Amino acid sequence: MEWHGYTGNILNVNLTDNKISITKENLEDLRQFIGGMGMNCKLFAERFKPNIDPLSAENLIIIGTGPLVGTATPGASRTVGISRFPATGAIANSCGSMSFGFQLKHAGFDHVIISGSAEAPVYLLIWDDHIEICDARQLWGSDIVETHDALIKKYDSCGTIAIGQAGENLVFSSLTLIDRTSTFGRGGLAAIMGSKNLKAIVAKGSKGISIAHPKEFNKLYNNLFERIRNYPHRESWHELGMLRSLPVGMMLKASGQKKKARQCTDRFYLNKLKKRRIACPSCPMGDKDILELKEGDFTGLINYTSSVINPFLMFIFEGLKSYTEAIKTFDLINRYGLDSLTMVSLLEFCNKLYKKGIFTKENTGIEWSADVNTFIQLIEMITHRQGFGDILADGWNKLAETYDDIGEEMLVVKGLDVIFEPRFLHLGTMEFEQVVNPKGAHVASGGSPTYVGAGSSKDKFIAHFKRMGIPESAIKRLFSPPFPEMIINVGRLTRYSEDWYTVLTSLGLCARAQMNRFWGLESASEFYNAITGIEISPEDLRMAAERTWNLMKIMNMKEGFSRKDDKFPKEWFKPLKFGVNELEFIDFFGEIKITHDIANQLLDDYYDERGWDNENGLPTQDKIKELGLEKYL
Amino acid sequence: MVKKILYEIIVHEDKCTGCLICQLNCSYVHKQIFSPSEAFIQISNQYSLTPKILFLEGCTHCNQCAQHCLYGALELKEVEQ
C-alpha cells in the first residue's frame, strides 16, 4: 500500500546479536492505536515481560513519532519513547522535541525497537536505508554536548538522542537530550541506554513525506497558519519563550528572594542571557533557548536548553546566589544528562535532613552547606557514583529504603519528585495528575484550563472542554466537585487532560500551551485524515487515546501498580513556608483546604470518570472489553 | 496597465530558528512533497550559534519561503521595477 503521513515501517535493532530488520505496519492496528504514543504502547505491550530489571538486556526501548511529524503541520515534531524506567519500575512513555522524530520520519521509519545490549559502546545510525551499529568507544565518557557536536561534525544535519556520563553510570535520575537541547526520558532513559552500551542514536533522512489529500491539507494548513500569524501574542512568545508563561521572578519574589528575582525578569533575560531562539521543525512558536553568560566567572559559557525557565527554576534553591551560578550548575547537569528538577529536589531534601542531624559529614562524606560548591560536589558524586552519591544515584526509592522514616517527608510519587507544588499553584489538573500518572510525578499530561497562565472563568473552561473534545454528557460531572465552592472537579477533569495529551502526543503535536491552544480534537482529526488518507472521526481519535492510556495502565497493573501507589505526598497536607507566608494545600479556586478525605474523593472521581474500579484504581473488565484490550491481559 | 510588484528577500541569519518551515513549504510547493533536502533554500548549522541560509540554483523566487517565515529571518522587501 502507498503510505502518506506514516512511513509504514518499523525498524528492529537487536544490539546483542547486531541483527537489524524492518517490519511493516498494518492499517487495522493504526485504526486502534495512533502514531507515536499509541503504536509505541501496542508494540511494547506485545513484547514486554513483566518484572524484568529495567537495566537488563531484556528491557526494550521503543522510540516512535506521529503521522503529522515530518510535514509542515505547525508544531508537529514530537519524539516519544517507551520503556520500563529504573527510577519507578513503571512502564511509561516519555516525550521530547527538536529534530530527532522529524529526521526519523524522513529516513523512512515511524518506530525503532531497540532490544538486547551491545558488548562495547555503540551508537545507532539511521540514515535512510543505511542502518548501522557503529563503534562509540571514542565517544564513551563524553558529555552530551560533546557527543552531539561530534556526531553533527560527522553527519552534518541530523537528529541525535545522546546520553552523558550519568547515563553511562546507570544513574536513575538520568535523562537524554535530543539535539543537546530537549530533555527526553525523565526517570532514567539514559541509564537504560547506558545499560545497553548505547551512547547515542542518530537519525538523518531525505525521503520526504507525501500527503494523501493535498487539496484538503492545503486548506487546513493555510487557515491554521494564518491564525498563528495573526495571533496577537506571537511575537512576545518569540521574544520571551516559556518565560512569558511562567514568571519565575514573581515566584522568587514571593519566596522572599527579591535580589534574585531581579535577575529573572524579562529584561534581564533579554539583555544578559539570550543568545538565540531556536525552534523544533515546523514550529512557528519556537521557545527553545541558546543562552550565553556575558559576565562573571563563567563568561562565554553557552548553554542549550528547552527553556530558560529550567535554570531559572533551579535558582529558587537558596544556595545558588547569582544567576551565573544557576546557569553554570544547570549546564553541568545538562551535559552529564541528569534531571535538573530532581537534582534541586534532592539537594533541598538532603539539606533538610542535614539540619535535622540525620545526614552528617560522617555518614555522607560531605561537608554540607547550602551553596553552589556543595551542589556541584553532589552532582559530581551522583554522576560518577562516588561514595554517598552512589545511594542517591539509585533514586528516591533506594534513599527511602536506606534511611529509616525519611520516605514520609519526600515530595515524591512512585519514585519521581513532584514538579508542580499545589500549595503554591493550587490543585489544578497538572498538580493532581502527578499523583495518578502511571509514570510517577510528571506534569506534561495534566494540561487543561487549569495549567499555569490559562484563564479560569467557567466560560473559558467550557470553551476549552469543547476544544479538547470532552463529551457534553461529561461536562455536568466536571462541574460537580466534592464541595460547590471548588467549582471544578479536578479528579474528573484529569481523565480528559490525559486523553487530550495522548491525542496530541500520538499525532506528534506539541502539548505546550502556545501551540496546544491552536488545536482541537476536530481539527486534529481533519489534519490526520488529510495527511494519512485514513478516515477517522474525532470520536475515533479520542477513543484511540483512551485505549492507549488504558493499555499503559494494564501494563503497569502487570508490574504490580494499583491505587496504593497513587499516593498524595503527606507533606502536601502540611503548611509550606514560602517567604513570609505559610501556604496551604487548597483547591484550584483557592476556596477549600484539601483534606485527606477530599483528596481521596477526587481520586475516586478520577477512577470513576475513567471507568475504573475505585477500590484498586485499575481498569474494570467492562472497560477493557469496551476498548478491545482483552488480549493484553 | 497593472503594476507588478516585485520583492527581494533580505536574509537575517541571526533570526533563523532552524524551524525549517521555509524548506518544507518550498519543497511542498515545487515538488509536492515535504522534503527539506529537495528545497531550493538550504539551512545549515540549524541549531548552532551561526546558522547559514543559502538559495540554490532552480529557485523561482516564488517567495513562499519568506511568506512563511514568522521569525523575520527572511524579510520580503518591495523593489522598484
Chain B residues in contact with A179 by the CB 8 A cut-off are 47
Asked if B25 reaches chain A (Cβ–Cβ under 8 Å), the answer is yes
Count up the domains in chain A and report the number. 3
Same domain, A194 and A257: no
Whether residue A186 sits in one domain with residue A42: yes
Q: List CB contacts of A174: < 8 A, sequence separation 6 or more.
A: A163, A164, A166, A167, A188, A189, A190, A191, A194, A336, A337, A338, A339
If you measure CA to CA, which chain A residue comes closest to B19? A281
Quick check: is A407 in a domain?
no
If asked whether residues A121 and A190 sit together in one domain, one would say yes
- B33: nearest CB among A98, A180, A208: A208
With CA atoms as reference, report the closest residue to A185 among A413, A345, A337. Answer: A337
Q: What is the pLDDT of residue B1?
A: 60
Single-letter residue type at A254: A
Identify the pLDDT of residue A451: 62
Q: What is the pLDDT of residue A524?
A: 98
A343 occurs within a structural domain: yes
A455 in the same domain as A347: no
Domain-embedded: residue B58: yes
The model's pTM is: 0.97
A179 plus A273 within the same structural domain:
no
- Helices vs strands, H then E, count in chain B: 2, 4
A390 domain-assigned:
no
Amino acid in position A204: K
Nearest CB partner across the interface for B47, out of A179, A225, A238 = A179
The size of the A-B interface in CB pairs under 8 A is 86
Cβ partners under 8 Å of residue A236, min gap 6: A244
In a domain, B1, yes or no: no
Identity of the amino acid at A467: R
- C-beta separation of A92 from A439 below 8 A: yes
Q: What is the pLDDT of residues A166-210, one digit of tens each?
A: 999 999 999 999 999 999 999 999 999 999 999 999 999 999 999
Nearest residue on chain B to A210, alpha-carbon basis: B33
One domain for residues A197 and A50: yes
Using the beta-carbon criterion (under 8 Å), do A302 and B49 form an inter-chain contact? yes
ipTM of the complex: 0.95
**Same domain, yes or no: A325 and A246:** yes
Tell me the residue range of the domain where B30 lies.
Answer: 6-79
How far, in Å, are A430, A496, A545, A613, A614 from residue A610 at the CA level?
A: 17, 9, 12, 9, 10
Here the CATH number for the domain that contains residue A609 is 1.10.599
Residue stretches of chain A with pLDDT short of 50: 454
Residues of B in contact with A275 (CB under 8 A): 49
Q: Which residue of A has its CA nearest to B69?
A: A284
Structural domain contains residue A279: yes
CATH of residue A184: 3.60.9.10
> CB of B19 within 8 A of CB of B74?
no
Tell me: do A493 and A623 sit in the same domain.
Answer: yes
Contacts of A99 in chain B (CB under 8 A): 46-47
- Other CB atoms within 10 Å distance of the CB of residue A136: 22
CB contact under 8 Å between A208 and B35, yes or no, is yes
**Does A425 lie in the same domain as A372?**
no
- Domain range for residue A58? 9-204
Among B24, B47, B68, beta carbon nearest to A278: B47
Question: According to the model, what pLDDT value does residue A255 have?
Answer: 82
Query: Could you say which of A345, A376, A407 is where a domain stops?
Result: A376
Model confidence pLDDT, tens digit, residues A14-54: 999 999 999 999 999 999 999 999 999 999 999 999 999 99
**What's the CATH code of the domain at B62?**
3.30.70
Q: Touching check for B59 and chain A: CB below 8 Å?
A: no
Residue B3 pLDDT class (50, 70, 90 cuts): low
Inform me whether the C-beta atom of residue B33 falls under 8 Å from chain A C-beta atoms: yes
CB A521 within 8 A of CB A467: yes
For residue A273, give the CATH number of its domain. 1.10.569.10
Same domain, A180 and A40: yes
Of A225, A279, A302, the CB nearest to B19: A279
B27 to chain A: which residues are within 8 Å by CB? 208
| Residue A411 domain flag | no
Residue B71 belongs to a domain: yes
Q: How far apart are CA B20 and CA B26, in angstroms?
A: 10
Q: Nearest residue on chain A to B32, judged by CA atoms?
A: A210
Could you tell me if A134 and A280 lie in one domain?
A: no
pLDDT in tens, A455-511: 567 888 888 899 999 999 999 999 999 999 999 999 999 999 999 999 999 999 999
Whether residue A174 lies inside any domain: the answer is yes
Do A236 and A200 share a structural domain? Answer: no
Nearest beta carbon to residue B18 from set A180, A225, A279? A279
Q: How many structural domains comprise chain B? A: 1
